[in-house]
Amino acid sequence: MVETGGGGPDDGTAEVLDRPLPDGVRRRVVQIVSDAFGSLTMAELPAQLRQYARFAPNRRAKFAGNAMAAALETDGLFRQRIGERYREAQPELSGALDSGSPPPAADPLDVAAAAYVLRPAGWVKLVTAAGEEAQRADAERADEESRAELERLREELAHAREHTRTETERLRTELDSARKETDSLHRKLRSALSDVKRGEAALRKIRAEADTARAEAQAQVSAAESESRRLKARLGEAEAALEATRRAAREGRSVEDMRVRLLLDTVLESAQGLRRELALPPVSVRPAETVDAVEPGRMTPKDIAARALSEHDPAILDQLLALPQAHLVVDGYNVTKTGYPQMPLEKQRLRLLGQLSALAAQTGAEVTCVFDGAELAAPVLLAPPRGVRVLFSKPGVTADELIRQLVRAEPPGRPVIVASTDREVADGVARSGARPVASAVLLKRLS
C-alpha cells in the first residue's frame, strides 16, 4: 500500500498513495488549495494556475479544481507553500499531524486532506483510513437511508393496500350499481330500437308517398308549363295577328282583304302561266279543227314520270320559285350549319344572305330568311340585302316556331317553299300547305 522513496524512514514525502484519492478527501484538498490560493503571489503560482488568480474561492474551486489537484500532486514547491498557508490557518491540527496523533474528535476527511497537503509521516495511512471511514460512513448512511426508504415504502404499501381494499369495495359497489343501470339501459335501448324501427318504417312510407306526390306534382308542373308555353305561343300569334289587323286597318284594308287579294293575284298569275304553258286554244271551234290530219302523239303517264325531277335536284327549286307569287322561307342557321359550319355565325349569316339576294334577283320570288334569336343578348345590327327579308325570333320563341307562324300567315293556295333539314319543321309546314325542301338542295342551287 505504501512505497518509500530515497528519504529517511520518517520522511512522509517518500510515501506514495497507490489508489485514487477518495472523492470526499479530494473535495477538501481542493477547498484548502482554493482558500490559500489568494495569499500567494503570481510568481508563487504554477503557470497553469495563474489564469485563476482573480477568481473567487468558490468559483476557483469549481472551475480550477482539477488543475489545482494536479499541480498539488506534481509540484512539491507549490504543495509546500500551500502547506505553510494551511499551518498558519490551522496550527492545532497541523501540530497534531506532525506529532503523529491526530485529534480523535476531528473529521476524518479534514484530517486526511490536511495530511495529504502537509505530508507528515504516515499520511498515506491517514488518507486511506479516511477514505475507508468515509466509505463506511457513506455505506452506513446509505444503509440508514435504505432502511428509512424501506420503512417508508412499507408504510406506503400498507396505506396503498388499505386504499386498494377501500377502493375495491367502492368499485365493487359502483360496479353492482353500474350493472343494474346497464340492465336498465339495455331494456330502454331495446325499447328505443323498436321505436326507431317503427319510425324508420313510417319514414320510408312517408318518403315513398312524398316521392309519389313529388312526381305527380312535377308531372303537373310540366304539363302546366307545356300548356303555358302553348298558350303563350297562341297569345303571341294572336297579338301578332292583332297588330297586323291594326296595321291593315290603319292602311284602310283588313288582313282578310289582303290575303284574298294576294290569293286572287296568285290564281290569276297561275291561270295565265298555265295558259301560256299549255298553249290552250280558243274556246270556240276553229276551222282548222275540221281538217282531217294526223295529230301528234300525246304524253302518257309513263312519259310524264320519266320527265319528273328528283327531290334532291336543285332544278326542282327553280320550278317551285317560278310559280306565281312564290314565297321562299329559309331556316337560316339550319342551312349555314349544313353548308359551312366551321365559319363564325356572323360570317355564316352574311354569306347566306348574299347568296339569297342573288337568288331573289334571279327568280323574282319573295324571300324571307329566319334566324334563331332566342339566346341573343342584344339585337343583331344587320343591313338586310336587297330582295331578302331578315327576321330573328323573339326571346322565348325559337326559329322553328317563327317559321310555322310565317307559313300559317299565308293564305291557302299561295306557293310557300320552306328550306330546312329539320324533320319537325318540314312535317309542320307540310301540314299547313307549304312545300318543304332540304337545306342541301338550296345549297346546291346557291352554289
The listed range with the strongest mean pLDDT (90-99, 166-175, 268-277, 284-293) is 166-175
Instruction: Tell me what pLDDT residue 9 has.
Output: 42
Residues 224-247 have pLDDT tens digits of 888 888 888 888 888 887 887 777
Instruction: Tell me what pLDDT residue 248 has.
Output: 64
Does residue 440 surpass a pLDDT of 60?
Answer: yes
CA atoms within 13 A on the CB side of 218: 6
Query: 97 or 353: whose pLDDT is higher?
Result: 353
User: How far is the C-alpha of 54 from the C-alpha of 64, rounded, in Å?
Assistant: 12
Instruction: Tell me what pLDDT residue 300 has.
Output: 45
- pLDDT class for 336, splitting at 50, 70, 90? very high
Instruction: Tell me what pLDDT residue 1 has.
Output: 35
Instruction: Tell me what pLDDT residue 99 has.
Output: 72
Q: pTM for this structure?
A: 0.38
SS3 8: coil
Percentage, residues of the chain above pLDDT 70: 77
Identify the bridge partners of residue 387 per DSSP, sorted by sequence position: none
Contact status, residue 415 vs residue 435, Cβ threshold 8 Å: yes
Q: Is the dihedral of CA 57, 58, 64, 66 positive or negative?
A: positive
Identify the bridge partners of residue 2 per DSSP, sorted by sequence position: 17
Instruction: Tell me what pLDDT residue 5 has.
Output: 37
CA 28 to chain CA centroid, Å, is 73
- pLDDT class for 10, splitting at 50, 70, 90? very low
- pLDDT class for 342, splitting at 50, 70, 90? very high
- pLDDT class for 377, splitting at 50, 70, 90? low
Does residue 445 surpass a pLDDT of 60?
Answer: yes
Percentage, residues of the chain above pLDDT 90: 21
Instruction: Tell me what pLDDT residue 418 has.
Output: 95
Residues 158-214 have pLDDT tens digits of 999 999 999 999 999 999 999 999 999 999 999 989 899 998 999 999 999 999 999
Instruction: Tell me what pLDDT residue 316 has.
Output: 86
The H or E element spanning position 5 is none
Does residue 255 surpass a pLDDT of 70?
Answer: no
- pLDDT class for 298, splitting at 50, 70, 90? very low
Contact status, residue 97 vs residue 115, Cβ threshold 8 Å: yes
Contacts of residue 255, defined as CB under 8 A and 6 or more positions apart, other chains included, come to 241, 244, 245, 248
Query: 275 or 279: whose pLDDT is higher?
Result: 275
Instruction: Tell me what pLDDT residue 340 has.
Output: 92
Instruction: Tell me what pLDDT residue 396 has.
Output: 82
Mean pLDDT, residues 215-225:
89
Instruction: Tell me what pLDDT residue 254 has.
Output: 60
Least confident of 74-88, 183-197, 213-227: 74-88
Q: Could you give the residue ranges of the DSSP H alpha helices within 90-122?
A: 91-99, 108-118
Strand order in the sheet with 435-437: 388-392, 366-371, 327-331, 416-419, 435-437
User: How far is the C-alpha of 163 from the C-alpha of 165, rounded, in Å?
Assistant: 5
Give the mean pLDDT of the chain: 78
The listed range with the strongest mean pLDDT (95-99, 229-233, 324-328) is 324-328
Contact status, residue 331 vs residue 422, Cβ threshold 8 Å: yes
Q: Cell 489568494 sits at which residue?
A: 38
